[in-house]
Structure 1
Amino acid sequence: MVVEAVMVAGVLLLPVPALVLGVRRVRDRSGRSSLSERVDRVELALLVLGRLLGLLLLLALSGVTLVACIGGLLRHRTLPSLVYVFFAADMLVAALLLLISGRRGRRPARRSASPARR
């Protein structure tokens, strides 16, 4: 019973904020650009598609884990062992999404270095 409550709290503390942050930043892209507009469009499409697939995976894993844990708490049933695997995968995907899209601001511009001392 305690394990289910910890799993519900874990899903609400890490994957749900990662999901919200990932949805807000799904269309952001880095400052790189190529010489061809077609390559830029293909790159953006692949980037958005990859992020959407990651978000859908996170949503599915979080939903299954939450439904199973809350159902187990309410009905006083034991959880299937696959729910624990889903919980671990959910935490790993959430950490990956936070590492990829967690940066809030741009890095400060690097000042140009002069070889001469002032």
Structure 2
Amino acid sequence: MVVQALMAAAVVLLPLPALVLGTARVRRRTGRSSLHERTDRVELALLVLGRTLALLLLLAMSAVTLLACIGGLVRDRTLPSLVYVFFVADLLVAVLVLLTFGRRGPRPARRSASPARR
């Protein structure tokens, strides 16, 4: 019963914020661009498609894990072993989302301080 509550809390604390941050930055792209406009569009489409699939996977696994944990707590039942696998996979996908496209962009460079007074 305690494990189910901890699992539900962990899903609320890590994968759900990763889902929110990931959806906010799904279309952002940093870095290089191709010389050809068509290649640029195809690259962007593949990037958005991959990120969308990752977010849908994260949403599905978070929903299954939360539903199973809350249902197990309410009905006082034990969880099937596949829920633990979904929980670990959910955490791993959340970390993947946070480390790849859910994080903030690079910080702006600070201006160098001049020793001379202005």
Q: TM-score when scaled to structure 1? A: 0.89
Equivalent pairs, count: 111
Structure 2 CA distance, aligned partners of 1:110 and 1:34? 29
- 1:72 corresponding residue in structure 2: 72
Task: Give per-residue Cα distances to partners, 1:55-81, cap 9 Å, x unaligned.
Answer: 000000000000000000000000000
User: Comparing 25-34 with 90-99, which one deviates more in the overlay?
Assistant: 25-34
Q: Does 1:61 align with 2:55?
A: no
CA RMSD of aligned residues (A): 1.5
User: Comparing 96-105 with 58-67, which one deviates more in the overlay?
Assistant: 96-105
User: Comparing 23-32 with 99-108, which one deviates more in the overlay?
Assistant: 99-108
- 1:115 corresponding residue in structure 2: none
User: Comparing 93-102 with 57-66, which one deviates more in the overlay?
Assistant: 93-102
- 1:2 corresponding residue in structure 2: 2
Return closer, same or farther for 1:58/1:98 CA change in 2, 3 Å cut-off. Answer: same
Q: Which amino acid aligns with 2:45?
A: A
1:56 counterpart SS class:
helix
How far has the Cα of 1:30 moved from its partner? Answer: 1.3
How far has the Cα of 1:109 moved from its partner? Answer: 5.1
- 2:114 corresponding residue in structure 1: none
Q: TM-score when scaled to structure 2? A: 0.89
Q: Does 1:103 align with 2:103?
A: yes
Structure 1 CA distance, aligned partners of 2:103 and 2:79? 36
How far has the Cα of 1:106 moved from its partner? Answer: 2.5
- 1:39 corresponding residue in structure 2: 39
| Runs of 5+ consecutive residues of structure 2 not aligned to the other structure | 112-118
User: Comparing 101-110 with 85-94, which one deviates more in the overlay?
Assistant: 101-110
Q: Is the 8 A contact 2:21 2:103 kept in 1?
A: no
Structure 1 CA distance, aligned partners of 2:56 and 2:91? 14
